[in-house]
Structure 1
């Protein structure tokens, strides 16, 4: 991760950045990405199925079958999870 960010790219693409990490390491990675936005002005585009990871974002967009179906601004883990559950219920 440090190697990818060392050149300070304007946009960082993170595909499941906490996927195989323990909770402590995952929180460190998410904090690092959040600081890159807040302190360095970088943009992070993250793909995740983890509501906690999504809660670090300014904006969460929800995709279903390749289409944008909803979004949240200033998300919390609980709000993301609730929205995800509502899609699961609708899909049954």
Structure 2
């Protein structure tokens, strides 16, 4: 019986440690986002808009469409006008 209690205690402490690590990673991500300047955010937004426009314009030339975990859309295409 006491072995079972130790096992449960270890499982709970492992879950708490994992949740603590996840919370730390979340907070670190938030801190990194705060450090990003508005100019960089605006540049990224413009690049994403260009990629979406290219996706609508030249769907036949689309090579790969990928959604990143940070929800930024990345489009790889052979259309040279998008790359400029």
Q: TM-score, normalised by structure 2?
A: 0.30
**Higher RCO (CA-CA < 8 Å; seq separation 6+):** 1
Which of the two has greater strand per residue?
1
**Bigger proportion of residues as helix:** 2
